[in-house]
Amino acid sequence: MKAFRSAILRFADDRSAVYEEDGLLVTGPDATGREVVRAVGAYSALAANYPGVTVEDLRGKLIAPGFVDLHIHFPQTDVIGSPAEGLLPWLENYTFPHESRFADAAYAQDVATVFLDELQRNGVTTALAFCTSHPSSVDALMGAARQRGLRMIAGKVLQDRHSPDGVRDDTEQSLADTEALINRWHGHGRLGYAITPRFAPSCTPAQLRGAGALAAKYPGVWIQSHVAENRDEIRWARELFPDARSYLAVYDDFGLMRERAIYAHCIHFDDEDRALMRATGAAAAVSPTSNLFLGSGFFDYEGAERIGFRYGLASDVGGGTSFSPFHTMLAAYYVGREGQTKPGLSLSPQALWWQHTAGAAQALGLDGVVGNLQPGCEADFVVLDPKATPLLARKTVQAANLDELLFALIVLGDDRVIARTHIAG
Ligand code: GUN
Ligand code: ZN
C-alpha cells in the first residue's frame, strides 16, 4: 500500500465537493488486484490505522481525481487550431484529409504516443476517444493505452457515405471490423470499446442499423457519436432522415440510444430531445472550447437540468482547442454565462470540476470506478501545484475558501498545474 498526505478533493453522491485540507489518501490492491483507493479522509483520523505504510508528504499540493474527457478525437491531435467557417467545411478541408493519413499504422502509432502523453501531462486519466475509420488506428491507440495501464474507451469510426476516399469505409466490412475490434479490446484490462458512427449524415441507414444490432448484442460496449452541433449539419441530417422526429431521434430509431451512449454537443435540442436523453440513459459530452471555436452554439445547461439528463465535459480535440481540463472548465463557465436565457448562469467551480470528473464518469456508467477518490475507486489521481505560476501562487494563497481556490485553478490553470498524474496508483 501507498499513502499520500496532502489537501484532497473528492465528490459526494450529491455532486458536492468534499475537501480535506490536511488529508490522507491510501491506495493499494483490492481483492482482484486492481489498484484502488483503500482509505481517504483527514490525516489526523486515518494515519494511526496505517502504521507500516510509508506516507509521502505532499503538503502544499492538492490531490484530486484524474480528469475524465468524455469526447476526444485521437487522430485530431494535429488538427487543433484549424480555422473554418463552421463544422462542415472544417471536416472537409482539414479533418478528413488529415484522418486519411491514419491508414498508415506506423503514423497512427506515433500520434497515439503524442496523444497519450498530452492526456497525461494534462491530468486526464480516462477518455472516450474517436479513432479513424481505419481499424489499425484502434489497435494503435489501444495498444499504447494498455502499455500505460490507462483506462481508455475508443472505437473505429463508421462513415460509409458523404466521406471522401481515404476515410470512407464499406458498410459490411466496417461492421465486421467493429465486431472484431470489440472482441479484441473490450474488457481487456482497463480498455473498453465504443461503437462509433461518426454522425448520422456520414452513415447509411444500413450502417446505422448494423451498429444498433451490435449495440444490442454487446450491451456492455459504449456508443459514441455527434448530434445537434451545427445548424447546417442539422438541416442536412433532417434531409437525409425525413421520417425521424428530430436529428437525435435518428439514433434512437436505429437502437443507438441507451445507457453508455455518449453524444457530443447536444446543443440545438428541444425538450422532446432532452426527454429522450433522459428516458434512454444516454449522456451528452459538453464540448465548450470546440463549440466556441467552430461557432456551433452553446450547450443549454438550464435545459439539461430542467429535464434531467446526464452530461459531462469534453475537450473534443481537435475541434476543441485544448487538452487542458482547466481550459475546458473555463470555457464551460463562459457558456453558462452567455449561452443561456438571460441573465445567464454562474456555474460554481465545484459544479464545473464535477462535470469533468465524477459527472463525466457517471455519464459513462463508471461512477464509483473512476472520476472520484472515494474508497473503492480506481487509484487514478492528479497532484496539483497551486503555486505552479507566480500569479497562481499569489491568487491561491489568498483563497478564503474552497470555491475561491478551485476558481483560481480553473481560470489561471493549465498543464503547468499538473505536478503528477498517477495511473492506477
Ligand atoms: N461531426 C462529425 N465529425 C465530427 C468531428 O470530427 N468533430 C466534430 N466536432 N463534429 C463532428
Ligand atoms: Zn467530436
CATH 2.30.40.10 domain extents, the chain: 2-65+372-422
The DSSP secondary structure of 222-286, one letter per residue, reads EEEEEES--HHHHHHHHHH-TTSSSHHHHHHHTT--STTEEEEE--S--HHHHHHHHHHT-EEEE
Cβ–ligand 1 contact at 71 (below 6 Å): no
**The predicted structure's pLDDT at residue 400:** 98
Q: How far apart are CA 12 and CA 384, in angstroms?
A: 20
Cβ–ligand 1 contact at 95 (below 6 Å): yes
pLDDT digits (tens, 9 = 90+) for 43-82: 999 999 999 999 999 999 999 999 999 999 999 999 999 9
- Give the ranges where 70-221 is alpha helix by DSSP (H): 87-90, 96-99, 105-121, 135-148, 171-185, 205-217
Q: How far apart are CA 396 and CA 56, in angstroms?
A: 23
What's the burial of 105, exposed, middle or buried (CB within 10 Å: 0-12/13-18/19+)?
middle
Cβ–ligand 1 contact at 5 (below 6 Å): no
**The predicted structure's pLDDT at residue 341:** 73
What class does CATH assign to 67-363?
A: alpha beta
Cβ–ligand 1 contact at 327 (below 6 Å): no
The residue-averaged pLDDT of 14-24 equals: 97
Which backbone phi and psi does 182 adopt, to 5 degrees? -60, -50
Place of cell 487538452: 323
The residue-averaged pLDDT of 94-108 equals: 98
**The predicted structure's pLDDT at residue 243:** 98
Residue 171 pLDDT > 90, yes or no? yes
| DSSP designation for 162 | S
CA-318 nearest atom, ligand 1: 7
Average pLDDT, the chain: 98
Say how many Å lie between the CA of residue 226 and the centre of ligand 2: 6
Residue 169 pLDDT > 80, yes or no? yes
pLDDT digits (tens, 9 = 90+) for 261-288: 999 999 999 999 999 999 999 999 999 9
pLDDT digits (tens, 9 = 90+) for 198-231: 999 999 999 999 999 999 999 999 999 999 999 9
Residue 405 pLDDT > 80, yes or no? yes
CATH 3.20.20.140 domain extents, the chain: 67-363
**The predicted structure's pLDDT at residue 151:** 98
3-state DSSP assignment of residue 86: coil
Place of cell 483506462: 151
Q: What is the pTM of this model?
A: 0.98
Contact 360, 371 (CB under 8 A): yes
**What size, in residues, is the chain?**
425
- Give the ranges where 125-170 is alpha helix by DSSP (H): 135-148
pLDDT digits (tens, 9 = 90+) for 133-157: 999 999 999 999 999 999 999 999 9
Q: How far apart are CA 156 and CA 154, in angstroms?
A: 7
CA-294 nearest atom, ligand 1: 9
Residue 342 pLDDT > 80, yes or no? no
| DSSP designation for 378 | B
Say how many Å lie between the CA of residue 316 and the centre of ligand 2: 5
- Other Cβ atoms less than 10 A from the Cβ of 374: the count is 17
What share of the chain in percent tops pLDDT 70?
100
Residue 363 pLDDT > 80, yes or no? yes
Q: Which of 217, 216, 225 is nearest to 248 (CA)?
A: 225
Cβ burial 15-43 (10 Å sphere, 16+ → b, else e): eebbbbeebbbbbbeeeeebbbbbbbbeb
**The predicted structure's pLDDT at residue 174:** 99
Say how many Å lie between the CA of residue 305 and the centre of ligand 1: 25
Residue 41 pLDDT > 90, yes or no? yes
Cβ–ligand 1 contact at 198 (below 6 Å): yes
Residue owning the nearest CA to atom 7 of ligand 1: 319
- 2-65+372-422 placed in CATH 1.10.3470.10: no
Residue 184 pLDDT > 90, yes or no? yes
Say how many Å lie between the CA of residue 87 and the centre of ligand 1: 7
Cβ–ligand 1 contact at 181 (below 6 Å): no
**The predicted structure's pLDDT at residue 343:** 77
Residue 339 pLDDT > 90, yes or no? no
Predicted confidence band at 113 (pLDDT cuts at 50, 70, 90)? very high
Q: Is the peptide bond before 219 cis (omega within 30 degrees of 0)?
A: no
Q: How far apart are CA 365 and CA 341, in angstroms?
A: 30
Residue 37 pLDDT > 80, yes or no? yes
